[in-house]
């Protein structure tokens, strides 16, 4: 019997974007993986893409963000525990990422293309859930720094490289796997870590007797950190000033600060509160105080910033990859919606103005993917001086430009879906909140642009040569691009001391590299569209400004293969 109070049938709503293989539907990612040397990983990535595109993983992402971490400072008896507590969905996501080796694969299996394969994997994870990427990134990035301390590395690396996610709060010797976080920023300094006041003092004879074997080689740390990533991690790399005479006195050094000491005691790291963040809400970030915590020095005394920045270069790579992954996810959801939604008598994806917007977003996403995997190859080939230098240049510039493009991209993708995109029932609102963090975290836009100037200025001739070598093959294919490249390179030396113009320079370098990659390797209609819209006219303005000559339907067919 028909319900006489029924008001309507639900129709003209696109089905959920689930049951999609996120790798198989992305030709640009597949091509970049093969081109940059990670093609051997294609079967694993195909399986991972199917898993991450499932309704089950999307639901885990929703639950982990709807039920973010809470902090239990004390147990029922009043003992201090400072324990972040997570929803089971968080642990399921972490199990998936750690089990896939997203935190360790290039270190445990350092074959050619390992960084590129891991970058493609990380980009896929970025389309599923982003909070869990933070502890994965920190753990991955800590490995090169830890290797500067062989004794510590011998104890920690087997657990860090393990693919067994083990969230239990125990000393590392009793765990199946371990995570690492970072503590740099303080209240008074922010990005200026040279203003840090946290102090480290080597243990005296009386303290060594008191601590026993747990205190051998240890320093006593007193101070605070305003942002302490992943407080549930088993250890953190921390910057503190050395309270001693001689080499390194008063200078910042890097210390490994474990959460638990070898004898089972909790280290004296007091978690004051968890940060109430705009996005990245599934992940715990915190403020802490070191009340005489024990730490062990990594690297040379007084060389804490260079030591921890070795970790930072890898976290910045992941910021680029993370933004590229979120942009790809936002594009897929928007284009899927537009294909399944009728408006004014025809599918939304067939409306000329909407096609222009979607194709513009698709160009941006493909260019970000191509750039991110090319950057990852610089890390694979870092022993070659020219690739190491190019990697430093492109890490700084890419961290600025790719991450800076993210929020506007997310807003435009959300607008494609209208009110359906703005509400929390779907993923676009969450994706939009995630996008600013990659620009802020691990060095804001201005910090990255200043780092770019330092990278270019340290050896200007070699830096120009590295950029020229990267751009020259594409310049040989198109006179218009050749003219653009010549102007960029010829004016480079005059811009090295122009701090006020550093953002424009970073943008121009990234866009030129993206154009070169697409002109050489993407279908002709993709490279031409990017050249017309990003090189021959200014990049600025809203999406949807593609010239009439652009083959928007071909771009959209490539953007999301069904």
| Residues 122-139: tens digit of each pLDDT | 999 999 999 999 999 999
Identify whether the C-beta of residue 298 lies closer than 8 Å to the C-beta of residue 311.
no
User: What pairs with residue 260 in β-bridges?
Assistant: 266
Residue 247's pLDDT band (cuts 50, 70, 90):
low
Whether pTM > 0.85 for this model: the answer is: yes
191 to each of 195, 199, 444, 498, how far by Cα in Å?
Answer: 9, 18, 8, 20
Identify whether the C-beta of residue 91 lies closer than 8 Å to the C-beta of residue 167.
yes
Using DSSP, state whether 331 is helix, strand or coil: helix
d(CA 485, CA 97): 40
Residue 562's pLDDT band (cuts 50, 70, 90):
confident
538 to each of 398, 446, 530, 535, 546, how far by Cα in Å?
Answer: 18, 21, 11, 7, 11
Write down the residue that tokens 């250890």 correspond to: 235
Q: Domain 172-302 is of which CATH architecture?
A: Beta Barrel (2.40)
Identify whether the C-beta of residue 82 lies closer than 8 Å to the C-beta of residue 271.
yes
Helices (H) and strands (E) in the chain, counts: 20, 11
Strand stretches in 299-397, DSSP E: 342-343, 346-347
pLDDT at 250 (0 to 100): 84
User: Can you say whether residue 129 is alpha, beta or left, with left for phi > 0 and alpha for psi between -120 and 50 degrees?
Assistant: beta
How many CB atoms are closer than 10 A to CB 368? 30
Cβ neighbours of residue 510 under 8 Å, at least 6 residues apart?
Answer: 371, 394, 397, 398, 400, 401, 402
469 to each of 399, 425, 555, how far by Cα in Å?
Answer: 21, 47, 28
**Which of 12-16, 213-217, 343-347, 476-480 is the least confident region?**
213-217
Structure tokens at 289: 């105080």
Percent of the chain exceeding pLDDT 70 equals 98
- Asked whether residue 1 carries a pLDDT value surpassing 70, the answer given is no
d(CA 243, CA 233): 26
Identify whether the C-beta of residue 232 lies closer than 8 Å to the C-beta of residue 167.
yes
- Asked whether residue 4 carries a pLDDT value surpassing 60, the answer given is yes
Mean pLDDT, the chain, whole residue set: 95
Q: Where are the domains of the chain?
A: 172-302, 307-559
The 3-state secondary structure of 28-62, one letter per residue = HHHHHHHHCCCHHHHHHHHHHHHHHCCHHHHHHHH
Structure tokens at 315: 């976290």
At the topology level, CATH places domain 307-559 in Butyryl-CoA Dehydrogenase, subunit A; domain 3 (1.20.140)
- Asked whether residue 395 carries a pLDDT value surpassing 90, the answer given is yes
d(CA 336, CA 416): 10
pLDDT at 191 (0 to 100): 87
Show contacts of 343-346: CB within 8 Å, 24+ apart: none
445 to each of 192, 338, 398, 449, 455, how far by Cα in Å?
Answer: 14, 33, 10, 6, 15
pLDDT at 211 (0 to 100): 78
Write down the residue that tokens 């020095």 correspond to: 297
Mean pLDDT, range 337-354, rounded to an integer = 95
d(CA 61, CA 154): 35
Structure tokens at 512: 């030129």
Picking from 400, 501, 397, the residue whose alpha carbon sits closest to that of residue 441 is: 400
Within 131-194, where are the H helices? 133-146, 150-160
Strand stretches in 392-436, DSSP E: none
- Asked whether residue 245 carries a pLDDT value surpassing 70, the answer given is no
Question: Computed over its alpha carbons, how large is the radius of gyration of the chain?
Answer: 24
pLDDT digits (tens, 9 = 90+) for 94-127: 999 999 999 999 999 999 999 999 999 999 999 9
Percent of the chain that is helix, strand, coil (3-state, to 5): 55, 15, 30
pLDDT digits (tens, 9 = 90+) for 21-71: 999 999 999 999 999 999 999 999 999 999 999 999 999 999 999 999 999
Identify whether the C-beta of residue 490 lies closer than 8 Å to the C-beta of residue 469.
no
Cβ neighbours of residue 537 under 8 Å, at least 6 residues apart?
Answer: 545, 547
pLDDT digits (tens, 9 = 90+) for 267-313: 999 999 999 999 999 999 999 999 999 999 999 999 999 998 889 99
């Amino acid at each position: 019997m028909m319900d006489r109070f029924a008001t309507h049938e639900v129709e003209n709503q696109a089905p959920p974007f689930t049951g999609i293989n996120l790798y198989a539907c992305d030709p640009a990612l597949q091509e970049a993986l093969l081109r940059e040397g990670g093609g051997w990983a294609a079967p694993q990535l195909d399986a991972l893409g199917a898993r991450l595109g499932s309704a089950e993983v999307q639901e885990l992402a929703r639950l982990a963000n709807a039920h973010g971490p809470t902090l239990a400072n004390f147990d029922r008896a009043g003992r201090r525990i400072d324990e972040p507590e997570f929803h089971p969905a968080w642990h399921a996501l972490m199990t998936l990422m750690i089990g896939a080796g997203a935190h360790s694969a290039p270190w445990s299996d350092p074959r050619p293309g390992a960084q590129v394969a891991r970058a493609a994997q990380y980009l896929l994870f970025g389309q599923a859930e982003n909070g869990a990427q933070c502890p994965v990134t920190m753990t991955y990035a800590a490995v090169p720094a830890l290797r500067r301390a062989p004794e510590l590395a011998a104890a920690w690396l087997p657990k860090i490289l393990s693919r067994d996610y083990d969230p239990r709060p125990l000393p590392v010797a009793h765990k199946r796997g371990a995570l690492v976080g970072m503590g740099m920023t303080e209240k008074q300094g922010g990005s200026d870590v040279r203003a840090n006041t946290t102090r480290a003092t080597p243990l005296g004879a009386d303290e060594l007797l008191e601590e026993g074997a747990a205190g051998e080689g240890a320093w006593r740390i007193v101070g605070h950190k305003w942002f302490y990533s992943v407080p549930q991690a088993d250890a953190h790399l921390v910057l503190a000033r050395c309270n001693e005479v001689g080499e390194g006195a008063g200078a910042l050094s890097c210390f490994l600060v474990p959460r638990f000491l070898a004898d089972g005691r909790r280290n004296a790291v007091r978690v004051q509160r968890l940060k109430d963040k705009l996005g990245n809400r599934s992940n715990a970030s915190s403020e802490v105080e070191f009340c005489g915590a024990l730490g062990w020095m990594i690297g040379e005394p007084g060389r804490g910033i260079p030591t921890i920045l070795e970790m930072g270069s890898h976290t910045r790579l992941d910021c680029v990859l993370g933004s590229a992954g979120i942009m790809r996810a936002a594009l897929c959801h928007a284009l899927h919606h537009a294909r399944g939604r009728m408006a004014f008598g025809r599918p939304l994806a067939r409306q000329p103005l909407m096609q222009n917007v979607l194709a513009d977003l698709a160009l941006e996403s493909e260019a970000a993917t191509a750039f991110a995997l090319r950057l990852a190859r610089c890390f694979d080939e870092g022993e070659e001086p020219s690739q190491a230098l190019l990697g430093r240049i492109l890490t700084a510039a890419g961290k600025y430009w790719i991450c800076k493009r993210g929020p506007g991209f997310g807003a435009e993708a959300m607008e494609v879906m209208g009110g359906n995109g703005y509400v929390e029932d779907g993923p676009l609102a969450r994706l939009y909140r995630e996008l600013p963090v990659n620009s802020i975290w691990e060095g804001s836009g201005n910090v990255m642009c200043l780092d770019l100037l330092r990278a270019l200025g340290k050896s200007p001739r070699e830096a120009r040569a590295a950029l020229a070598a990267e751009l020259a093959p594409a310049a040989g294919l198109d006179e218009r691009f050749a003219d653009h490249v010549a102007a960029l390179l010829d004016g480079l030396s005059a811009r090295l001391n122009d701090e006020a113009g550093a953002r424009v320079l970073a943008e121009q370098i990234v866009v030129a590299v993206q154009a070169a990659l697409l002109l050489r390797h993407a279908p002709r209609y993709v490279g031409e569209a990017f050249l017309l819209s990003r090189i021959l006219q200014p990049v600025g303005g809203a999406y949807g400004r593609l010239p009439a000559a652009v083959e928007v339907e071909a771009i959209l067919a490539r953007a999301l293969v069904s």
